[in-house]
């Protein structure tokens, strides 16, 4: 007789981990990177994202325990996550770096401004900021669950007290441990309505560095008392709030371990995090392919060291299959004990039990309201009006302005040659600036001619000398810390442009999207009357809100509508 399956029993059950072989147990400790797009020819990062055939082998044959996804639309992700779960031997942890909402990584869902925008609101109204942070957590968790993500690699609890930090920057809630703690805990509270996993990162604190660990190993020289007071405080608060996982940082902290980065340090992960702070949840490494680790340790050495240090989850090892073999060999030779592996499996199983229950409850809710479960009706929680309104409110409440605003219509209509000069990091990978983006469309309606500068623009300053002499310019700068750049923004190019425009009396107004540290560098140069708008967000809604303030909504409504 064939098996009978209930219409609702579509979520795989979890076997007893004790029944797994050593290789299967270790494979459950590995999380691999995959593209959120459905087809191989859409893969954006082939060095990191495996083909469908390779991915299926890892999940089906090796029994890898989780996947981290990037790219594609939210609807594609719903299909992709279901495909991955179907391939897998056992239910997967499916993770994503969605610190700014699901829409940050997967188009169509709600995209919030970065956490520091909420921190800016806290400077004026802490209660309102906590409400926003809790709403961000709840909306992010609900939308993640709807598309099959069960593990949020958020919130960031680093205290960004170094303006030159190239990788944390606006991803942090604030520059003080008190505000970071309160807002991170509010975010975690919000997620707990939907029972997805949360992650506090990057332990024991990546905020006070000027080196990007994606490229090299940052070194922290602070005393133990300073680290306890500042860096560790938000982690303590997150643990008390019930955070499910903590991600290690690739940092060398000489006070605690003069030899090994935190990710590979038993003193940091076991002695400090497990024993001293009493954390009982999952310890996950930051991506092991990052330069801070990959440039110093072999692809099969780092995973063994991380497990030995106390890590439960190996995130994005350079060679998943080799990593599994290396850890198994370390067990067989006695370098690692079986008890060490079993302790991690118990924690992984506890986390998986939680998200399996949540997935089944989600399916049951959809079936109860729609009569059956499908990808289409599962997507109904995405980008709801209330969620979009919350994101817009955070943008508005965190925005700052100065100078003579708004620009009077006559200052625009009387100018025959107006220029909209936009500076971005790399236009080729820019997910917030398309042909219909407000930063392009709204100035065009008012007669501005577009000029775009990015890292590919040849000799950008020299090429603009003549134009700068005569054309009144709206300067829009998209600057924030981003991984792999190695600096906190394109400020050298931007600073030169600001200086030249001011020298030639050609700067009509400036809009900065992203980093408040960039704005602080420009403000001393601006005449008091020069209009400026600053937004933490870079997404189209941030552009729309900023430019409505700059031009006034009435000016924009009176322009001719362009059909693109």
Which residues participate in catalysis according to the annotation? 286
Dist CA 104 CA 110 (whole Å): 8
Tokens 């829009």 label which residue?
476
412, two tokens: 């625009």
* Residue 1: strand, helix, or coil: coil
Place of tokens 């939907």: 194
Closest CA to 282 of 362, 350, 215, 226: 350
CB of 465 closer than 8 Å to CB of 497: no
* Helix (H/G/I), strand (E/B), else coil: 400: strand
Q: For the chain, how many residues are written?
A: 564
Q: Where are the alpha helices (DSSP H) in 464-539?
A: 465-470, 491-503, 516-522
Could you write out the DSSP letters of every residue in 321-385?
Answer: HHHHHHHHHHHHTTSS-HHHHHHHHHHHHHHHHHHHHHHHHHHHHHHHHHSS--HHHHTTTTT-H
Helix, strand, or coil (residue 75): helix
**Residue keyed to tokens 């007893």:** 16
| Backbone dihedral region for residue 139 (phi beyond 0: left; psi -120 to 50: alpha; all else: beta) | alpha
The CA-based dihedral angle spanning residues 441, 443, 448, 452, taken in that order and rounded to the nearest 10 degrees: -70
For 267, which DSSP code? I
Tokens of 30: 């590995």
Q: Are 220 and 262 in contact (CB under 8 A)?
A: no
Residue 402's SS3 state is: strand
How many whole angstroms separate alpha carbon 182 and alpha carbon 165?
Answer: 22
Q: By the 8 A CB rule, do 433 and 440 touch?
A: yes
């Amino acid at each position: 007789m064939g098996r009978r399956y209930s219409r609702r029993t579509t979520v795989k059950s979890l076997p007893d981990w004790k029944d797994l072989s050593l290789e299967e147990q270790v494979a459950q400790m590995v999380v691999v990177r995959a593209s959120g797009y459905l087809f191989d020819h859409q893969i954006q990062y082939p060095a990191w994202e495996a083909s469908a055939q390779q991915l299926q082998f890892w999940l089906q044959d090796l029994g890898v325990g989780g996947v981290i996804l990037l790219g594609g639309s939210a609807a594609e992700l719903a299909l992709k996550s279901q495909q991955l779960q179907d391939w897998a031997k056992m239910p997967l942890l499916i993770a994503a770096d969605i610190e700014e909402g699901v829409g940050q990584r997967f188009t169509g869902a709600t995209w919030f401004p970065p956490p520091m925008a909420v921190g800016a609101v806290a400077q004026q109204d802490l209660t309102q900021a906590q409400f926003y942070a809790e709403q961000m957590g709840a909306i992010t968790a609900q939308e993640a669950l709807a598309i099959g993500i069960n593990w949020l690699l958020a919130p960031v609890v680093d205290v960004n007290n170094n303006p030159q930090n190239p990788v944390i920057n606006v991803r942090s809630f604030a520059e003080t441990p008190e505000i970071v703690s309160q807002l991170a805990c509010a975010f975690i509270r919000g997620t707990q309505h939907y029972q997805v996993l949360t992650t506090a990162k990057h332990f024991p604190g990546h905020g006070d560095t000027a080196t990007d660990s994606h490229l090299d190993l940052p070194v922290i020289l602070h005393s133990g008392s300073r680290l306890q007071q500042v860096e560790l405080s938000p982690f303590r608060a997150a643990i008390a709030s019930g955070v499910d996982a903590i991600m290690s940082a690739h940092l060398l902290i000489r006070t605690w371990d003069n030899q090994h980065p935190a990710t590979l340090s038993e003193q940091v992960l076991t002695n400090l995090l497990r024993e001293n702070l009493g954390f009982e949840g999952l310890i996950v490494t930051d991506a092991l392919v990052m330069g801070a680790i990959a440039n110093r340790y072999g692809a099969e050495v780092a995973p063994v060291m991380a497990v030995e240090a106390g890590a439960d989850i190996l995130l994005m090892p350079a060679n998943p299959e080799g990593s599994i073999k290396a850890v198994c060999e370390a067990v067989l030779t006695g370098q690692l004990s079986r008890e060490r592996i079993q302790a991690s499996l118990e924690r992984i199983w506890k986390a998986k039990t939680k998200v399996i229950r949540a997935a089944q409850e989600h399916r049951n809710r959809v079936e109860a309201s729609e009569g059956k479960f499908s990808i289409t009706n599962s997507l109904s929680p995405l980008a709801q009006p209330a969620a979009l309104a919350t994101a817009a409110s955070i943008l508005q409440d965190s925005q700052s302005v100065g100078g003579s605003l708004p620009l009077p219509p006559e200052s625009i209509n009387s100018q025959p040659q107006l220029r909209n000069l936009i500076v971005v990091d790399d236009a080729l990978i820019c997910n917030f600036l398309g042909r219909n983006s407000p930063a392009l469309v709204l100035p065009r309606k008012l007669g501005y001619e577009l000029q775009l500068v990015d890292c590919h623009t040849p000799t950008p300053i020299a090429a603009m000398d003549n134009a700068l002499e005569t054309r009144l310019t709206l300067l829009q700068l998209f600057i924030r810390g981003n991984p792999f750049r190695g600096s906190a923004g394109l400020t050298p190019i931007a600073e030169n442009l600001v200086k030249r425009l001011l020298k030639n009396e050609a700067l009509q107004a400036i809009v900065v999207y992203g980093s408040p540290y960039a704005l602080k560098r420009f403000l001393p140069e601006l005449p008091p009357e020069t209009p400026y708008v600053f937004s933490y967000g870079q997404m189209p809604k941030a552009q729309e809100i900023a430019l409505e303030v700059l031009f006034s909504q009435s000016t924009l409504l009176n322009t001719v509508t362009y059909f693109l």
